[in-house]
Each structure stands twice: as C-alpha cells, then as structure tokens.
Structure 1
Amino acid sequence: MNISDFRFNALFDDWADDYDATVALETGEYKDVFKNYNEILNETVKHVSKFKGAKVIDIGSGTGNLTNAASNIGYNVIGVEPNSKMLNIAKEKYPFINFISGTFLSLPIEDNSLDAVISSYAFHHLTDDEKDTSAKILKSKLKKDGVIVIADTMYDSEKTKSDLILEAKENGYTNLLHDLNTEFYSTHDILTKIFEKHGFHVSYQQMNKFLWILTAKLK
C-alpha cells in the first residue's frame, strides 16, 4: 500500500458511516465546504459532455453519490474506491452500479478505454507530486478526446488560501482549520501546470467558497 492509499483508508474508516449525513449538513464547521453539494455533483457530470453510454469512472467514489449522478445521465460508469467500508456502503445503496477497488495511483482499468474520469472531494488527498503522477496515469487510460472533471477544494490564489485559513481560525473552526493546514489543497496555478504538462487544456468553475470544478480536456 502506498502512502496515499494509507491516507485514504485511515480517513474513511472513521468517516464512512457518517459521510452522507455530513455532506447534507447546513450548519457547523463544514457547511461551506459542502454547500450546494447536490448541485456540485450534477454540474460535475454535466462537464463530461459525452454521448449517452460513454465509459466513465469515478475515482474516490466514496458512498457512490457522484457515480449515481453519472449513471442517471446515462453514462456507463464504474465507481473506483480504495476504502472497503465506503465500497460496501456504495454497493448497498446503488446495487445496479459496478464499484471496484482502486485509487488515483493504482487503477485497474485498460489503457485508452475511457471517455472520462470524474471525481469529487478526493483529489486533494494526493500530494502535488502524486497529482502529477496521477495525471499521467489518467491520461494513459483516456481515449484521445478524453476529459477529466474534478470537483474539489482548491484555491484560485495563495491569498485566497490565507484568507480562508484565517477565517476558519477566527470562527473557531478547529477541525476545519486542521484540515486546511494539513490536507494537500492545491492552487489553480499548480494544478494547471500539472495537467498542461500532460497535454490537457484546463478550465475552472467555482461552486462555493472552497470548491471548484476543474475540467481538463486533452488537446
């Protein structure tokens, strides 16, 4: 198990049972992180912009909510999740969807076979170096006109990062502050450089004060 897989499992073993309740909360420390949650999922799958039946994978699929949103559009979607507890919950919730074990860095998918890769609230668990490695792996799995759509916490600038950390501190949001200081949330500049290095054109859409949708299309 590589270090990113370990981080995934350590976090979600403790969170799996309460994940769906957490993302639905409209109060508390994380209310702004998950604000517009269902809209975010629906907007993410819209950015795929592929034909009905297109082959899509959702990495870090968790309890399967984004995977299901893609299925509802008519995509041939597979959920990919490293944590066994999350995987079992997703299979129980959505028995008509195929969920398999895997990660951004260990992906049991045939090369040049995917129309799109989607992900929500997961990519930030990778360091910037791991994100770079993942971008290379994901490109190898995509068809020549493939697209990657990632909905996650990220920053449009270092100033925004500092402002949000300060705001969490002033509000006494201890857990959120810890996350903002320790998780691997990247800036647009870093993410753009990573994906452009591997031949993608990158665009962003903001969905709440923390979350942006990154769309990376192969040039």
Structure 2
Amino acid sequence: MKLSDFRFNALFDDWADNYDETVYIKNGEYEEVFKNYTEILDETVRHISKSKAAKILDIGAGTGNLTLAASKAGYNVIGIEPNVKMRNIALKKAPLISFLPGTFLSLPIDDNSIDAIISSYAFHHLTDSEKEESIKLLKSKLKKNGTIIITDTMYDSTESREFIIKDTYNKNFLALAHDLETEFYSTCKFLNKLFEAEGFTVDFKQMNKFVWILTAKLI
C-alpha cells in the first residue's frame, strides 16, 4: 500500500461508526456541507447516464450510500473502499454488492472494463499531484466513451474559497474551518484543467454551498 493509500485508509478508522449520523445531520457545523445529501447522491447517479446493467465503480464508497443508490437505479456497481470498518458497514446494508479494498491510486480492476466511475465526498483527500495521477489511472479503467463523476466540496474560484473559510470562522465553526484549510479541496477551474488534459469534456453542477458534481466524459 502506498503512503497516500495508507493515509486515505487510516483517516476513516475513527469515523466509520458515526459516518451515517454525520452525513444525515440536520444541525451543527457540517449541516451545510451535507445539505440535501440524499438528493445529491441521487443526482450523482442520474449523471451516469448509461444503459441499465452498465458496470460502475464507486470509489471511496464509505458505508455504501452512493453505491446502494447506483445499484437501486439498476447499475452493476462495485464499491471500492480501503477501510475495513467502512466496508463491513456497507456490506450489512447491501450484502449482494461487492465491496473491494482499493483507493483512487490503487484499483484491483481490469483496464478498459468500466462504463462509469463515481465518487462522493472523497476526492479531496488527494493532493493536487495525486489527483492528476488518479485521473490517469481512472481513465485507464474506463471503456470507450466512459464517464467519471466526482461529487465533492469544490470552489468556483480562489476568492470564493477565501470567502467561505472566513465565513466559517465568523460562525465559529472551527472544526469545519480547520478541515477546509487542511484538506486538499480544489477549484473547479483546476479540476477542469486536469480532466481536459486527459481528453475529457467537463461539466459542473453546484448542489449546495460547498458541494459540486463534476461530470467528465471521454471524448
């Protein structure tokens, strides 16, 4: 396991048992981050836009919420999640779905075998250079005309990032402010550049104050 993979795995060891409680929370510091959570997952699935039974990967599957939503929509979905605790929770929810160990940088999947790759609230754990490396790897797993859908906190500009962080401090949301300053959240412009460099066309849709859906389609 790469050092970056280890970091991605260990991050969720202490969060697994309370993850679902956090994402469905209706108040507190993270309310805005997870506002409309169920609708965001459903919209992510709608952006797949493939025929039923298409083969889908959900990377950073966590407790399986997005994986299960894609499965209910009729897709043949595999969850990729490095954390054992998270995978066990996901398997209890969806025992008929395969949840495999792996990360954005290490995938136990054959090349040119996947119709679409989806992910929610996870891509920001990669540094800028890791994001670039990951996009190349994800592309290699896709079939012709494949799609990557990344749902995560993003900024429409560096100015927006600065404003949101300042506003978070003003609200005394110190834990959230710390996350925003120390995690590797990117601007839409930066992500667009990375995907276009690998031959994707990219669209963005904002879902709440923090979260956007990036849809990248291979040309």
Give the shorter-chain TM-score range: over 0.9
Matched with 2:2 is 2
Matched with 1:72 is 72
Q: Give a deviation string over 1:152-203, Cα, whole Å, max 9, x none.
A: 0010101110011001100111110100000000001110110001010011
Matches within 5 A, 1:63-102: 63-102=63-102
Deviation at 1:39, TM superposition (A): 0.3
Matched with 2:43 is 43
Between the two proteins, the alignment pairs up a number of residues equal to: 219
Matches within 5 A, 1:63-212: 63-212=63-212
User: Aligned to 2:15, what secondary structure does the other structure show?
Assistant: helix
Q: CA RMSD for the aligned pairs? A: 0.7
Deviation at 1:93, TM superposition (A): 1.3
Q: Give a deviation string over 1:102-156, Cα, whole Å, max 9, x none.
A: 0000001000000000000000000011000010001100011100001000101
- Letter of the aligned partner of 2:32 in structure 1? D
User: Aligned to 1:53, what secondary structure does the other structure show?
Assistant: coil
User: Aligned to 1:102, what secondary structure does the other structure show?
Assistant: coil
CA contact (8 A) 1:125 1:183 kept: yes
Task: Measure the CA separation in 2 of the matches of 1:9 and 1:135.
Answer: 19
Deviation at 1:6, TM superposition (A): 2.3
Task: Measure the CA separation in 1 of the matches of 2:3 and 2:159.
Answer: 29
- Letter of the aligned partner of 2:174 in structure 1? T
- Letter of the aligned partner of 1:135 in structure 2? I
CA contact (8 A) 1:57 1:80 kept: yes
Task: Measure the CA separation in 1 of the matches of 2:52 and 2:174.
Answer: 44
Task: Measure the CA separation in 2 of the matches of 1:9 and 1:173.
Answer: 26
In structure 2, list runs of 5 or more residues that go unmatched.
none
Using the aligned pairs only, state the percent identity.
Answer: 65
Task: Measure the CA separation in 2 of the matches of 1:96 and 1:129.
Answer: 35
Matched with 1:23 is 23
- Letter of the aligned partner of 1:49 in structure 2? S
Q: Give a deviation string over 1:37-76, Cα, whole Å, max 9, x none.
A: 0000000010000000000000000000000000011000
Task: Measure the CA separation in 2 of the matches of 1:107 and 1:30.
Answer: 30
- Letter of the aligned partner of 1:43 in structure 2? E
| 2:61 is the counterpart of 1:61 | yes
> What's the TM-score, normalizing by structure 2?
0.99
- Letter of the aligned partner of 1:202 in structure 2? V
CA contact (8 A) 1:4 1:125 kept: no
Task: Measure the CA separation in 1 of the matches of 2:145 and 2:8.
Answer: 30
